[in-house]
Amino acid sequence: MNRKISFFLSLFVVLAVFVIFIFISFSGSGQADPVRQSPSPSPTPPETTTPATEITKEEAKAIAADAFPEIVGPDTAKVRFEQITDALGERRSWEVDDYSANLNVEGARHAQVWVDAATGEIMEFAIHTGKKGRPDDPVLSEEEACACADEFFQGREEGAILERRPDVLYQTYTSLVEGGKEVAGFYRIWYARLVREVPCSGDGCDLEVDAVNGETRRFCKTWALDESRCRADTTPSIQAEEAEERAGAYLKETYGDLPGLTIHTTLLKWADHPFWARDPSTAVPLGWEVTFDNDHYRSLTWPRNATAWVDAHTGEVFACDYRPDLT
């Protein structure tokens, strides 16, 4: 009898434990933790060919058309984005071209206009005309072309801080429709940017003035220098004559005798040319730009000048582009 009672008690305990286990497993208070799902990755934005600029493509076209209404048409102009990174830094622009005109028609012109993608300023333009029928020789003198260039800058914001450089280059055009005949071309005229009344060697503008009618055929503006880098006293510690002596001594010590060495100009400038002013954290030196040539340079197929830079305060020659191996 006792054995039966013990058996039933044991069976009851086992059943009770089983019931309790089942109850805990399926009761609301005993639910298992939900499975944690990994967060979905952010969707990858679709690739786009539209650059991030402040000036839109259509705005750039409108700016160019407003500047050259007789050449750039809203329906005929083509626009493309251009990004250049070089010693001057990064430059982003919209190039607006209109080549729709027939240059064989008298008075027809093509245009290329570069609009700054951040500011909307026209930084460069080029106007192309037909060459057929142009006279062989220039109609305008160099002096008259310079007067036309000066007039171009009247009323422009940068005009008050530019200084025309003394060097002017005349180049002919080639008329392909007349068998490669050389015809009247253009005068290229440079203007240096002034910082604290001292001209820059790099920043500035250059123009090409048509030697027949005085129109501006090309304009290019380079404005990269941060004025805060021009920290030197603008009154030089050494004068031009001493700078020429320092340059001559450097050339002799570096290259030996240079037969026919001739100094042409010695000009006080900020040495902001990108070749030696690439680091934006450094000060731009005030220097004497000594331009020279010699028998070797004058004998080249394309004669040219070389330049030595002398620090206007220390007298050190800190740059020179003379190449004795040039052929």
Spell out the residues 6+ positions from residue 98 whose beta carbon is closer than 8 angstroms to its own.
Answer: 71, 72, 73, 76, 77, 78, 110, 111
Same domain, 244 and 169: no
* Per-residue pLDDT tens over the stretch 202-226: 999 999 999 999 999 999 999 989 9
Residue 45 lies in a domain: no
Residue 10 lies in a domain: no
Rounded to 5°, angle at Cα 311 from 288 and 189: 30
In angstroms, the CA 221 to CA 197 distance is 19
Q: What is the DSSP letter of 313?
A: T
Q: How many Cα atoms within 13 Å fall on the side-chain side of residue 115? A: 28
Same domain, 72 and 138: no
Residue 327 lies in a domain: no
Q: What is the mean pLDDT of residues 298-313?
A: 96
Same domain, 148 and 124: no
Domain count, the chain: 3
Same domain, 124 and 136: no
Same domain, 140 and 220: yes
Among 85, 105, 129, the domain-final residue is 129
Residue 62 belongs to what domain range? 51-129
> In 167-184, which positions are buried (b, 16+ CB within 10 angstroms) versus exposed (e)?
ebeeebbebeeeeeeebb
Among 129, 158, 181, the domain-final residue is 129
Identify the CATH number of the domain in which residue 182 sits: 3.10.450.40
Spell out the residues 6+ positions from residue 105 whose beta carbon is closer than 8 angstroms to its own.
Answer: 130
* Per-residue pLDDT tens over the stretch 65-74: 999 999 999 9
Least confident of 9-23, 243-257, 289-303: 9-23
Residue 37 lies in a domain: no
